[in-house]
Amino acid sequence: MNQLPFQMPLPAIVVAGLVLGLVALMMLLLIFNYGQLWFQAYWSKAPVTFLELLGMSLRKVNARTIVQANIMATQAGIGRDVSVRRLEAHYLAGGDVPRVIRALIAAHRADLDLDFDRACAIDLAGRDVLDAVQTSVNPKVIDCPDSASGKTTLSAVAKNGVELKIRARVTVRTNLKQLIGGATEETIIARVGEGIITSIGSAESHFEVMEHPDQISKAVLHRGLDAQTAFQIVSIDIADIDVGENIGARLQADQAEADTRVARAKAEERRSFAIAREQEMKASTAENRARVLQAEALVPKAMGAAFRAGRMESLTVNNGKAPQ
C-alpha cells in the first residue's frame, strides 16, 4: 500500500512521541518540584522562571531560600538593588542570604546608607550584619571594665595620692562604614578605661573628681576614642565612684621606711669603719711605742762605744762650771 505524501513514517512518529513524552514528563517534574515556588514568586511580583529554578538545583543552591529572599526584598521595596543572580552568588560564597536581606530591610526602614554589596561584604567578613544594623538604630550599652575580664571597677589615683574606683557605662552605635576592618568592643573598652585613668591622674585631688564626675566623661569623650573602630561613641557615663585607699600616703610611708633602713645601714657601715680605724690606730701606737723603747735601749750602747773610742771627754763640774 502506497504512503500518502503528507504522512510521516512510523519510526519518526514514535520518536516524536517519545520526545514529546519526555518533554511533558520533564515539565510535570518541574511543576511538581518548583510549581509552588514559581506560583508564590509570581503572585509576589518577584517572578522567577523554571529554568532558573532548575539551574539553582544543578548549582546546589537552595532555591526556596533564594526565592523567599527575593520575595522579601521585592515586597520591602529594595528589589531594584537585589537580583536572583546576586543572591545566588552570595549564597555560593557562603553568606547568610536571609540575614542579609533582613538587614537591608531594617536599614531601608531606618533610612541608613547600606547597599547590598556592603551588606554582603560585612556578612562574609564574619560580622553579624543584622545585629550591626539593629545596634546602629538602637544603640547599646557596654560596661567599662568588661565584667568578663573579672574586674568590676577601674582603679585610678589622683595627684593627692587617693585611689578612686570607677565603673563607667559606654553607649555606642554601629558605624557601618567602618564595620569592615574596624576595631571591636574590646578596643573601645580599653581606650575608655585608659582615658578615664589618665583624666583622674591629672586631677589635683579626688574631691575634684567626686564633685564633677561629668568633667571626666566629657574629657574622655572629646578625645575621639572611636577612631578606626566599628562603633561610634554616643556617651560615656560614670555609673559609680568609690574612694579606695590613700596610696600616696602608703607609698610615702614605705619610702620613709626604706630611707630609714638605708640610713641604718649607712650608720652601721660608718660605725664598723670607725671601729676598724680605732683598732688600726691602737696597733700603730703600739708599734711606735716599741720603736721608742728600741731607740732608748740603743742610747747607752752608743755612749759606751763613744767613751771607749775616746770621742767623748769626762767633764768635771767645778763650782757648777766647766773648767776654763
At 29-79, the pLDDT tens digits run 666 567 677 777 777 787 888 778 777 887 888 888 888 888 888 888 887
Reply yes or no on whether the pLDDT at 319 is more than 80: no
Residues 131, 146: one domain?
Answer: no
- The pair phi, psi for residue 9, each rounded to 5°, is -65, 155
Taking residues 164-182, report their average pLDDT. Answer: 86
Residues 115, 149: one domain?
Answer: no
Residues 186, 234: one domain?
Answer: yes
Residues 241, 218: one domain?
Answer: yes
Among 119, 138, 157, identify where a domain stops.
Answer: 138
- Which residues lie closer than 8 Å to 271 by C-beta, 6 or more apart? none
Element housing 18 (H / E): helix 10-43
Among 113, 138, 163, identify where a domain stops.
Answer: 138
Residue 76 domain flag = no
Residues 103, 167: one domain?
Answer: no
Within 10 angstroms of residue 289's Cβ, the number of other Cβ atoms is: 10
**Lowest-confidence segment of 15-19, 49-53, 124-128, 170-174 by average pLDDT:** 15-19
Query: Cis peptide before 145, with omega less than 30 degrees from 0?
Result: yes
Q: Which three cell numbers stand for residue 277?
A: 680605724
What pLDDT score was predicted for residue 151?
Answer: 82
Q: Are strands 154-157 and 140-144 parallel, antiparallel or unpaired?
A: unpaired
Residue 148 domain flag = yes
- pTM over the 0.95 mark: no
* pLDDT band at 13; cut points 50, 70, 90: low
**Lowest-confidence segment of 17-31, 215-229, 277-291 by average pLDDT:** 17-31
Reply yes or no on whether the pLDDT at 177 is more than 80: yes
Reply yes or no on whether the pLDDT at 315 is more than 50: no
Residues 153, 187: one domain?
Answer: yes
**Cβ distance 87 to 66 under 8 Å?**
yes
Residue 223 belongs to what domain range?
Answer: 140-249
Q: How many domains, the chain?
A: 2
Residues 201, 218: one domain?
Answer: yes
Residues 233, 159: one domain?
Answer: yes
Nearest residue to 85 (alpha-carbon basis) of 115, 107, 116, 109: 116
Residue 29 domain flag = no
* pLDDT band at 120; cut points 50, 70, 90: very high
Residues 166, 243: one domain?
Answer: yes
* Domain containing residue 199: CATH number: 3.30.479.30
Nearest residue to 240 (alpha-carbon basis) of 173, 156, 153, 180: 153
